[in-house]
Amino acid sequence: MKTSLKTFLADLYEIDPSLKTHEAEIIPLVEKLMKSDPAVEPDTEFVKRLRMQLKNRAAELSSPASAGFSRWLYAFGGAVTAAVIIPVAFVAMNNMKPATTFKQDGSALFSYSVKEEGESAFGSLSMMNANDMTSARPPEGKMMGVGGGGVTVTNAVAVEAPAPQAMMARDMDAGVDTKMIAPYPITTYAYVFEGELPELTSSVAVYKRITAGKSVPFSALANSLNLGNIDLASFAGMNMDSVSFSQNKPYGYQMNVNLRESSVNLDAQWDQWPQSKCQTDACFQAERVKLSDVPSEDQLIAAANAFVKDHSIDMTHYGTPTVDMQWKRDYDRAPNKNDAWIPDQMRVLYPLVIDSNPVSDQSGMPFGISIGVHVKSRKVMNVYGLMSRDYAKSEYAGVTDKKQITDYLSTLDQYGWAPDAGTETKTATVTLGTPVMGYSVYYKYDSNVTQELLIPSLTFPISDIKGGEQYFFRQSVVIPLASEMLKQQQDGGRPMPMEDVKAM
């Protein structure tokens, strides 16, 4: 039977009365351990083996701290008490020495801090991967909000197509000539904004993420690992930069911790999750996710929130979660719903919040922690974006003239050349809603180092589109408010037209 907290503490203080003075520290540990204890009662043989193991372990521990615990650890006879006191003892022993950390200043690996720097401390912003969401791709290992394709511009018109790089790679793989005629009629898009812009400032705060993770000296592990066919300890000066774990149980996970980047990725341990055994199309069709299988947004968020709570994921600096529903737009456009794709997992997005403002990627999608929920099992499959949030902050010149923003919108997706004579064209009108002030993430590659910068931006939602809905993929228009970056986008920081790409 499961012992009560009161009974457990009474037994504990009877063995060592001095522990009562530490009751405030002991109770939270005991409550947590007792909550996870399934109240299994081992048989007599198990208890005998357990006592012997504890006695042998006590003999191995020679430090004064461990000797104090060895005096009373193996004296416990109750099965439930023994199951609880063992982890308590090791937690208490570890608490008697400094906690193991991987940061030079002794703080936790994952943290949030902001360090003030001088003006323009991060160098020029003009070489960022700025402008259109179609050209914005994070470097390997980085996580952006879940954004989709974009409007690619060719011949001064918006041709409804994927990003230039993606389309060219796809067509080359398929043996398609990238100079083939685009679908007709070619649609141009006119962006219309008739509202009021917020007040602009002459200076804006730019944030740069600092990856201050510290590698673990390999010498701390090598002596404990005997592989048999190589002497690990012979590699002097080697460090451990990453580590991975696996959970081999039904619906288990694999976790990859990158110590240098101070980041964690959690994913499904695939051989522990149900796998399709279909061999025929009929079977695949029967197993496909149907619209009726998809939980409501509230249910998806509840599943993600429960996972966050169960695993004590710190959401202090993240905003209200939303569900990425871009797939639904494509589903609604599909002429045959039976052929329309529905993902087998839905993403719940928790936006990072800086200076009380949300952070997005360059497509306007929330940037921060992304949690994937499996549609049919309603279990969390993966978590991306868990990382240290240490930043340096620097002031840069801001956009002060509102006309710069309206001028940019009036020329958005225009590349300076017209379609051939006789080409059928049409114009679609895209109405923009009230912009939201926030930050947008950009990446800058400089001196073999990728910098992650958060730039103050205005995000204009797409409130309506008339005349070209079928192939229009923008969710919003994001305009940076750092003067140098907006000027780059106006002067040529856009994706290269397809014919120019081909010519290269």
User: 3-class DSSP state for residue 422?
Assistant: coil
C-alpha atoms less than 13 angstroms from C-alpha of 391 in its C-beta half-sphere? 19
Q: For residue 333, what pLDDT band results from cuts at 50, 70 and 90?
A: confident
What's the domain count of the chain?
1
Q: Report the share of the chain in percent with pLDDT over 90.
A: 40
Q: Out of 182-186, 228-232, 372-376, 479-483, which region has the weakest mean confidence (pLDDT)?
A: 182-186
**Model pLDDT, residue 146:** 30
Please say if the pLDDT value at position 301 is more than 90: yes
Inside any domain, residue 336:
no
Please say if the pLDDT value at position 71 is more than 60: no
User: 3-class DSSP state for residue 477?
Assistant: strand
**Model pLDDT, residue 212:** 67
Dump pLDDT digits (tens) for 114-127. 999 999 999 998 76
Domain enclosing residue 84, as ranges: 5-95
Inside any domain, residue 133:
no
Dump pLDDT digits (tens) for 23-63. 776 777 666 555 554 443 444 444 444 444 444 444 444 33
Q: Which residue has the higher pLDDT, 447 or 391?
A: 391
- β-strands 112-116, 436-446: how paired? unpaired
Query: Which residues is 429 bridged to in the sheet?
Result: 190, 466
Q: For residue 385, what pLDDT band results from cuts at 50, 70 and 90?
A: very high
**Is the Cβ–Cβ distance between 206 and 394 less than 8 Å?**
yes
**Is the Cβ–Cβ distance between 187 and 468 less than 8 Å?**
yes
Tell me the CA end-to-end span of the chain in Å, nearest whole number: 75
Instruction: Estimate to the nearest angstrom the gap between the alpha carbon of 227 and the chain centroid.
Output: 35
Please say if the pLDDT value at position 86 is more than 90: no
Dump pLDDT digits (tens) for 147-182. 222 222 222 233 333 333 333 333 434 444 444 445
Inside any domain, residue 348:
no
Inside any domain, residue 87:
yes
As a residue count, the chain comes to 504
Mean pLDDT of 363-385: 96
Rounded distance between C-alpha atoms, residue 407 and residue 282, angstroms: 54
Average pLDDT, the chain: 74
Inside any domain, residue 215:
no
Rounded distance between C-alpha atoms, residue 201 and residue 195, angstroms: 19
The DSSP H or E segment spanning 26 is helix 23-36
Mean pLDDT of 411-433: 78
Rounded distance between C-alpha atoms, residue 472 and residue 98, angstroms: 56
3-state secondary structure 282-341: HHHHHHCCCHHHCCCHHHHHHHHHHHHHHCCCCCCCECCCEECCHHHHHHHHCCCCCCCC
Q: For residue 211, what pLDDT band results from cuts at 50, 70 and 90?
A: confident
Inside any domain, residue 58:
yes
**Model pLDDT, residue 416:** 60
Please say if the pLDDT value at position 84 is more than 70: no
Rg (CA), the chain: 29
Query: Which residues is 460 bridged to in the sheet?
Result: 477
**Model pLDDT, residue 228:** 80
Mean pLDDT of 404-426: 78
Inside any domain, residue 80:
yes
Q: Report the share of the chain in percent with pLDDT over 70.
A: 63
Inside any domain, residue 21:
yes
Q: For residue 108, what pLDDT band results from cuts at 50, 70 and 90?
A: low
